[in-house]
Amino acid sequence: GAVVSQHPSWVICKSGTSVKIECRSLDFQATTMFWYRQFPKQSLMLMATSNEGSKATYEQGVEKDKFLINHASLTLSTLTVTSAHPEDSSFYICSALQGGSSSYNEQFFGPGTRLTVL
Amino acid sequence: GENVEQHPSTLSVQEGDSAVIKCTYSDSASNYFPWYKQELGKRPQLIIDIRSNVGEKKDQRIAVTLNKTAKHFSLHITETQPEDSAVYFCALEGGGKLIFGQGTELSVKP
């Protein structure tokens, strides 16, 4: 089956520092990857859509200069939280879409990264 | 934009009973409706999905029904077990991305 990994699984950082989260599709090529943020007891909120080789598309209200997304290859996307603040503490989850079909395909989710900003 | 309303937000049932979660939506162009189960601190797991060309799909104790005219779809879990306890999210595909419902915390009491 399609497997997506994320690294790190958890990270604690000081306020003002930057944190990079990696999302990898291990056994398939992901034409599109998505980044979500999930606060406790809430739903998944889409932050941005990332297509390989092009700029990410951010959802309304998500600061693109704060949440830098790079999708340099068909198997890797990275999310960098810049100048992190305590309110950025959350569960960040990526997902990958396997292309090649005219119908909408299943998104394969990574295990998530728990970010805590002190 | 597209909106998905999910009810109830919490659901408590006795082991062996059935559980039903319902979602309503507004965009008639949506054609893909997945359901996810998420345990605390873990990734969402796809448990069943349905496309708009069918009205019902079943996989063992789990079934999903879709009414495109009324714009709602429901998850049915029969013979619930304590390990079914989790948060369940409905979702639909809109504009090339998934839009999630607010989630239902299901608790199955032994």
From A4, A3, A41, A97, select the one nearest B41 (Cα to Cα): A41
Q: Return the residue matching tokens 């029969």.
A: B78
| Cβ–Cβ gap A110/B89 under 8 Å | no
Nearest chain A Cα to B35, which residue?
A106
CA dihedral B108, A45, A72, A101 (to 10 degrees): 70
Dist CA B28 CA B31 (whole Å): 8
pLDDT at A99: 65
- What dihedral angle (degrees, nearest 10) is formed by the CA atoms of B68, B23, A97, B55? -30
User: Which of B43, B96, B102 has the CB atom closest to A110's CB atom?
Assistant: B43
Q: DSSP readout, A42-94?
A: S--EEEEEEETTS--EEPTT--TTTEEEEEEETTEEEEEE-S--GGG-EEEEE
Per-residue pLDDT of chain A (118 residues; tens, 9 = 90+): 789 999 999 999 999 999 999 999 998 888 899 999 999 999 999 999 998 888 899 999 999 999 999 988 889 999 999 999 999 999 999 999 876 554 566 889 999 999 999 9
CA A51 – CA A74 distance, rounded (Å): 9
Mutate to test the interface with B, among A94, A107, A108, A114 (most CBs of B within 10 A): A107
